[in-house]
Structure 1
Amino acid sequence: MSTSSPSGANSRELFGHPAGLYLLFSTELWERFSYYAMRALLVLYLTDAVTSGGLGWNQGDALQLYGIFTGLVYITPMFGGALADNWLGARRAILIGGLIMAAGQFVLAVPPDMSGLDAEMLLYVGLGLLIVGNGLFKPNISTMVGDLYPQGDHRRDGAFTIFYMGINLGALLSGIVAGSMAEGYGWNAGFLVAGIGMLLAVAIQLIFAPRHLGELGVEPSARREARLSKRSTTRTPLSREERDRIKVILVLGLFTILFWAGFEQGGGLMALYAQDYTDRMLMGFEVPAAWFQSLNPLFIILLSPLLAGLWTRMNDREPSSPVKFAFGLIALGIGFVCMIGAVLEQKSAGSASMMWLVGAFFFHTLGELCLSPVGLSMVTKLSPVRMGALMMGAWFAFVALANYLAGMIGSLVGEAGAMSVFGGIAITGVLGGLLLLVFAGKLVDWMHGAEARHDGPLETQTSHG
């Protein structure tokens, strides 16, 4: 028989985790299907010829818009998190954000020749709706995953890795489905499929959340904390321990900028490299360039269970979050060494083997798994309860800056050349990882035991995050 957890969620378990985790997994799966379907098509759509249904932009302008868009997608969660913490509650914010995002995808799907509207106007309106909706959706669903687990529950990192599989199962499907629809029926059909995926995410949350999440995410977290502690809503100053923990989030946020500024070349510069400079013939079939976007989620699905199991089996020998971050940055650098190999082969043979891209996406994925789900978990561990969604939004603001920088870096390819761009990112990734290893011990001290394992009865522990 299920009971209510300290966070208000139903405590029924499935495969060692709360059933609510798999509901949030499923919701995020279809939301990420929607987002990554659009992401896989955006640069290719912008640069395609007008006669083929595209907008005919040059590569530099397309990559700059890509960077601005993905940057704004990750900065609006700071405002969406604050709204949820103080007024809306996470559940309501997710539903409102999901509906706005679906509207954005459907605007992108409107054929200009049928509507009589300007194609670029439709583009900007659609992207604007996606930015606003994502700001409400993204930080709050991640915070709810952390809220399923009491403080000190060693399953939390593994839970975020499982949740990350949902993100990437959706991304895996999106590149193949939306790419195939765009190839067969035009760019607008690809965006239409993305909109349908977003509606599925909203429907899953509406139908199943009351049963599997109980009251989790219904009440704004700041109001809940004040009620449970029987205090007024007047904000109390942060304690020294809370300030130190926030410093860890901020420091690791700087390193996450380095990672994502390189990683996000996968949807921009590397997408164009796959289309223009890669031999994509496989047994007489030309692999669509958009399909390469599915390599990252495919590798995540394959590697996530292995890493989640590894962290659990290591017990007290499990690396700290800063050390995992360092491994992620070094793996990113190794991935771009593969892209250097691609450029060298392209210059000598006229085109690069697909295997260089496969290798790059493999190492990028390994790095992502050491950094991204661990970062989400870390924010829920270290954030003051009353600021949970706000701090998650701040974390995504670092990713926002990284995405903007990614667009700027990718647009330099016309002046600096692919070798300089790929080589610079490789060196930066490795050096950043080594620097973080040096300071990892100090960052762990500032966590004040937030990552310490508690193996006692979880019912007696306090919910956090």
Structure 2
Amino acid sequence: MNSIPNRGEFLGHPKGLFLLFGTEMWERFGYYGMRAILVLYLVAQVQNGGFGWTNADALSLYGTFTMAVYLTPLIGGWLADNVLGQRKAIIIGGILMAAGHFTMGIPHGLVAGMEEQVFYIGLALLCAGNGLFKPNISTMVGDLYQEGDKRRDGAFTIFYMGINLGGALGPLIAGYVAAQINWQAGFIAAGIGMVISVVMQLLLSQKYLGDIGVVPAAKLSQQQSNSNTKEPLTSQEKDRIRVIFTMSVFSIIFWMGFEQAGGLMNLFAADYTDRMLMGFEIPASWFQSLNSIFIIIFAPLVAMIWLKLDKREPNSPVKFAIALVFLALGFLTMMMALITEGSDAGNLQISMMWLVLFYLFHTLGELCLSPIGLSMVSKLAPLRLASLLMGLWFLCTAVANKIAGFVGSFIGEGQEAMNNAMSIFIGLGATALLSALAMYLLSNKLVDWMHGAEGTTDEPHTQEHYLEKELEISGERQ
């Protein structure tokens, strides 16, 4: 058992929660700040401090990088559970990520002739550090509370707010620094956020967390496993695994469209959007903050809607279908933007409001889908296969990110980009609608295969509980 230090409370919760809140907030600040300027940096002309890559090459690399972001935690989680412990994994991971940000921030003049090699080293450090950091910090939140403590749901609500606060601030600050100084300064700004995260853990974790996360989880649970006998799967367990597999595969469609945000839509904001507001040109990277801002605003409203619906609340597969419809509406918005404002295709500059609507619809979709993923696996997976099936969910998310980069790479260059963008928006929107229809038609069968796991839990039917679920974006943020 972990000993929980008594260091007083803040807002009714252990102070250690707010240490984890700050640690995660600053890490997300660094990651999303870097991500917001990554593609823009790659396609910027050499004389403007970038690499001058084509849109296709930049988006292809972006897809590979974001795929790795979801694959490396499978290794990092195992290392933390079996070798390092969560605390040590978080600190090592944070140091590696800070090194990655600062490596990417090295001025080109200092590494003349080796700019791209240094850049790849920075990305590799980020991927390795992310693998150690990403899967471990949220599990420590629950360890702050004794079994049965009713404050735990509220703790995760606070924690996930920290994630989205970091996700909102990172693109705003790193993007502004990059626009006002240079790209390397933007990466350094992201790295400073990561350094703050690591320093907080190094200086305060022992005081406020005690020995939570110090001992690897495998050692703590070793005494609980007295039998190595493996029982065959029951027919009920096989059905539930079918549900997990089906919805994991369908999740590829959603994340494939949703993850156009940091790639294709980032380029669209930079090249084809009128970003002037009262004489100030809004940096293209700032639009990457909209998702996190909308989550903070609309998560309580969505939670309230589910609460008001009570027994009429849609089941998980139907919520999944609704999420895909919102995804399609986002792309329909962009199609309308091109149709209504694209008469002069040679000099197309659409209104910013179209992009705001695009991100709003996609965020509403995320709030319908995100609580499903990890919750579904935890409810349906046989205990002995829980980690494997959780890995399947993350694997599908990784595949979706790679496909997103591949699809976005068809945007092309210059004049042809508008025709290609319309084709991409139509294709992604149609795919989302067809997938929504298929999921809706399958919903009753999937609920049957859940064998009572859907809607028969003892979870509290309160707004606080629903809010915690809506903020549980750990399937794609954690």
TM-score (norm 1): 0.85
SS in 2 for 1:267: coil
- Taking the aligned partners of 1:374 and 1:146, their CA distance within structure 2 comes to 19
Q: Deviations over 1:52-74 (max 9, x none)?
A: 11111111111111111111111
Deviation at 1:8, TM superposition (A): 6.5
Deviation at 1:141, TM superposition (A): 2.8
Deviation at 1:355, TM superposition (A): 0.8
Deviation at 1:259, TM superposition (A): 0.9
- How large is the RMSD of aligned CA atoms in angstroms? 3.2
Deviation at 1:251, TM superposition (A): 2.2
Q: Return 165-174 or 304-313, whichever deviates more.
A: 304-313
In the TM superposition, 1:194-343 aligns within 5 A as 194-210=190-206, 213=209, 215-229=211-225, 231=226, 234=228, 236-237=230-231, 239-240=233-234, 244-311=239-306, 317-343=312-338
Q: What is the identity, as a one-letter code, of the residue corresponding to 2:72?
A: T
Q: Give 2:353's aligned residue.
A: 355
Q: Return 270-279 or 207-216, whichever deviates more.
A: 207-216
Q: Give 1:437's aligned residue.
A: 440
Q: Return 370-379 or 14-23, whichever deviates more.
A: 14-23
1:368 to 366, 369, 389: 366
2:397 to 399, 423, 431: 399
SS in 1 for 2:222: helix
- Taking the aligned partners of 2:267 and 2:93, their CA distance within structure 1 comes to 31
Deviation at 1:144, TM superposition (A): 4.2
Q: Return 216-225 or 132-141, whichever deviates more.
A: 216-225
Q: Give 2:104's aligned residue.
A: 108
Query: Could you say if the C-alpha distance between residues 342 and 180 of structure 1 is closer, same or farther in structure 2, counting changes exceeding 3 Å?
Result: same
Q: Give 1:75's aligned residue.
A: 71
Q: Deviations over 1:213-268 (max 9, x none)?
A: 55544443344333134x15x47447536555444333221122111110111111
Query: Could you say if the C-alpha distance between residues 336 and 164 of structure 1 is closer, same or farther in structure 2, counting changes exceeding 3 Å?
Result: farther
Query: Could you say if the C-alpha distance between residues 373 and 294 of structure 1 is closer, same or farther in structure 2, counting changes exceeding 3 Å?
Result: same
Q: Give 1:460's aligned residue.
A: none
Deviation at 1:424, TM superposition (A): 1.1
Q: Return 240-249 or 420-429, whichever deviates more.
A: 240-249
TM-score (norm 2): 0.83
- Taking the aligned partners of 1:155 and 1:440, their CA distance within structure 2 comes to 33
Query: Could you say if the C-alpha distance between residues 282 and 68 of structure 1 is closer, same or farther in structure 2, counting changes exceeding 3 Å?
Result: same
Q: What is the identity, as a one-letter code, of the residue corresponding to 2:173?
A: V
- Taking the aligned partners of 2:287 and 2:254, their CA distance within structure 1 comes to 20
Q: What is the identity, as a one-letter code, of the residue corresponding to 1:453?
A: T
Q: Deviations over 1:118-164 (max 9, x none)?
A: 11011100001111111122122344456678999998887656544
Q: Return 242-251 or 280-289, whichever deviates more.
A: 242-251
Deviation at 1:310, TM superposition (A): 4.3
Query: Could you say if the C-alpha distance between residues 147 and 102 of structure 1 is closer, same or farther in structure 2, counting changes exceeding 3 Å?
Result: same
- Taking the aligned partners of 1:80 and 1:307, their CA distance within structure 2 comes to 33
Question: Is the 8 Å Cα contact of residues 328 and 366 (structure 1) preserved in structure 2?
Answer: yes
Q: Return 435-444 or 347-356, whichever deviates more.
A: 435-444
SS in 1 for 2:106: coil
Q: Give 2:171's aligned residue.
A: 175
Query: Could you say if the C-alpha distance between residues 24 and 384 of structure 1 is closer, same or farther in structure 2, counting changes exceeding 3 Å?
Result: farther
Question: Is the 8 Å Cα contact of residues 55 and 411 (structure 2) preserved in structure 1?
Answer: no
Identity %: 55
Q: Deviations over 1:323-350 (max 9, x none)?
A: 3322211111111111111211342153
Query: Could you say if the C-alpha distance between residues 35 and 410 of structure 1 is closer, same or farther in structure 2, counting changes exceeding 3 Å?
Result: same
Question: Is the 8 Å Cα contact of residues 140 and 389 (structure 1) preserved in structure 2?
Answer: no
Question: Is the 8 Å Cα contact of residues 345 and 351 (structure 1) preserved in structure 2?
Answer: no
Question: Structure 1 regions of 5+ residues with no counterpart?
Answer: 1-5, 457-465
Question: Is the 8 Å Cα contact of residues 85 and 221 (structure 1) preserved in structure 2?
Answer: yes
Q: What is the identity, as a one-letter code, of the residue corresponding to 1:423?
A: I
Deviation at 1:110, TM superposition (A): 1.0
Query: Could you say if the C-alpha distance between residues 136 and 192 of structure 1 is closer, same or farther in structure 2, counting changes exceeding 3 Å?
Result: same
Q: Deviations over 1:402-422 (max 9, x none)?
A: 110001000112276111101
Q: Give 2:136's aligned residue.
A: 140
- Taking the aligned partners of 2:3 and 2:444, their CA distance within structure 1 comes to 35
Query: Could you say if the C-alpha distance between residues 159 and 303 of structure 1 is closer, same or farther in structure 2, counting changes exceeding 3 Å?
Result: farther
Q: Give 1:454's aligned residue.
A: 458
- Taking the aligned partners of 1:65 and 1:320, their CA distance within structure 2 comes to 37
- Taking the aligned partners of 1:443 and 1:115, their CA distance within structure 2 comes to 55
Is 1:131 the counterpart of 2:135? The answer is no
Q: What is the identity, as a one-letter code, of the residue corresponding to 2:401?
A: N
Count of aligned pairs: 449
- Taking the aligned partners of 1:146 and 1:446, their CA distance within structure 2 comes to 30
Question: Is the 8 Å Cα contact of residues 225 and 385 (structure 1) preserved in structure 2?
Answer: no
- Taking the aligned partners of 1:323 and 1:188, their CA distance within structure 2 comes to 45
Question: Structure 2 regions of 5+ residues with no counterpart?
Answer: 461-478
Query: Could you say if the C-alpha distance between residues 144 and 396 of structure 1 is closer, same or farther in structure 2, counting changes exceeding 3 Å?
Result: farther
Deviation at 1:30, TM superposition (A): 1.3
SS in 2 for 1:110: coil
Greater relative contact order (Cα 8 A, min sep 6): structure 1 or 2? Answer: 1
- Taking the aligned partners of 1:24 and 1:384, their CA distance within structure 2 comes to 30
Deviation at 1:294, TM superposition (A): 1.4
